């Protein structure tokens, strides 16, 4: 993560210091705002924000809405002790990811790296026999033919792609792809099968089922 600047908005000094040290070990430069005050003034050259929700003087969701009103698309990961469905939905509607405290440090690093790579890496990425156009959210096969996805299939694939090598719980995927709560686990399973069919992933090597938990999009085999 060399050359990456990350802002932590977190009022718990112990948590903020721990995360700061962890990220700095990966080469990123880290800034901390303990209250959320004047956060807009800190956004120059920031590549990603780790945003607490329960802050002393404001709410992390509301701060994010203010940031977005300024047409600022800095990716935001919410870190919160709130694990109720409404808080998660609010987070996923307004940010790129939502991680519930307490969390494993390695999971946080994996999510940060995936979002950084997804947002700032080259626009085209090789993935198995496919070419992924990250900016335009298009997938091409080995013959440069676009794989036709429906809107839901596209949202599902790129959410999995953004979180490569991370196990995503079914509930979390459903909350992200269907934020209005208008679908169920069976629908997710159907769409996973549709993606596998279009990717010729009939053995589940690319989209791996984690039984009893959810799914993981595997990186290319070495």
- Please name which of 102, 58, 111 lies closest in space to residue 82, comparing C-alpha atoms: 102
Asked if the model's pLDDT at residue 221 lies above 60, the reply is no
Q: Specify the pLDDT at position 45.
A: 81
Mean pLDDT of 18-44: 92
Q: Specify the pLDDT at position 134.
A: 75
Distance CA 88, CA 77 (A): 11
Least confident of 30-44, 95-109, 166-180: 166-180
- Would you say 137 and 25 are in contact if contact means Cβ atoms under 8 Å apart? no
Least confident of 121-135, 155-169, 206-220: 121-135
Percent of the chain with pLDDT over 90: 56
Length of the chain (residues): 222
All CATH 3.40.50.2300 domain ranges in the chain, comma separated = 5-118
Sheet holding 138-140, edge to edge: 124-127, 130-133, 138-140
Least confident of 17-31, 55-69, 169-183: 169-183
Q: Specify the pLDDT at position 133.
A: 86
pLDDT digits (tens, 9 = 90+) for 124-161: 788 999 999 876 789 999 888 999 999 999 989 998 99
Mean pLDDT of 102-119: 90
CA angle 58, 60, 62 (to 5 degrees): 75
Count of alpha carbons within 13 angstroms of residue 185, beta-carbon side? 7
Q: Specify the pLDDT at position 73.
A: 81
Q: Specify the pLDDT at position 162.
A: 84
pLDDT digits (tens, 9 = 90+) for 48-87: 999 999 998 889 999 999 888 866 788 999 999 888 888 8
Distance CA 44, CA 22 (A): 22
The answer regarding whether domain 5-118 maps to CATH 2.102.10.10 reads: no
Count of alpha carbons within 13 angstroms of residue 128, beta-carbon side? 15
All CATH 1.10.10.10 domain ranges in the chain, comma separated = 123-217
Q: Specify the pLDDT at position 200.
A: 95
Q: Structurally, what CATH architecture does the domain formed by 123-217 represent? A: Orthogonal Bundle (1.10)
Q: Specify the pLDDT at position 222.
A: 44
Asked if the model's pLDDT at residue 33 lies above 50, the reply is yes
């Amino acid at each position: 993560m060399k050359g990456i600047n990350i802002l932590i908005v977190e009022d718990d000094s112990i948590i903020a210091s721990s995360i700061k040290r962890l990220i700095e070990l990966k080469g990123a430069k880290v800034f901390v705002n303990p209250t959320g005050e004047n956060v807009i003034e800190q956004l120059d050259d920031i590549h990603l924000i780790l945003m607490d929700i329960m802050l002393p003087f404001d709410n992390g969701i509301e701060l994010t809405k203010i940031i977005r009103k300024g047409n600022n698309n800095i990716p935001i990961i919410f870190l919160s002790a709130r694990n109720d469905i409404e808080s998660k939905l609010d987070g996923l509607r307004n940010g790129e990811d939502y991680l519930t405290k307490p969390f494993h440090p390695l999971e946080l690093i994996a999510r940060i790296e995936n979002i950084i790579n997804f947002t700032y890496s080259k626009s085209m990425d090789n993935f198995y026999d496919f070419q992924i156009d990250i900016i335009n959210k298009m997938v091409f096969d080995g013959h440069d033919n676009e794989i036709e996805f429906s809107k839901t299939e596209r949202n599902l694939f790129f959410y999995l792609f953004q979180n490569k090598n991370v196990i995503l719980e079914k509930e979390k995927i459903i909350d992200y792809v269907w934020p209005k709560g208008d679908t169920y686990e069976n629908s997710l399973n159907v769409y996973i099968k549709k993606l596998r069919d279009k990717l010729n992933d009939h053995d589940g090597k690319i989209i791996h089922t984690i039984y009893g938990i959810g799914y993981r999009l595997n990186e290319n085999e070495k």
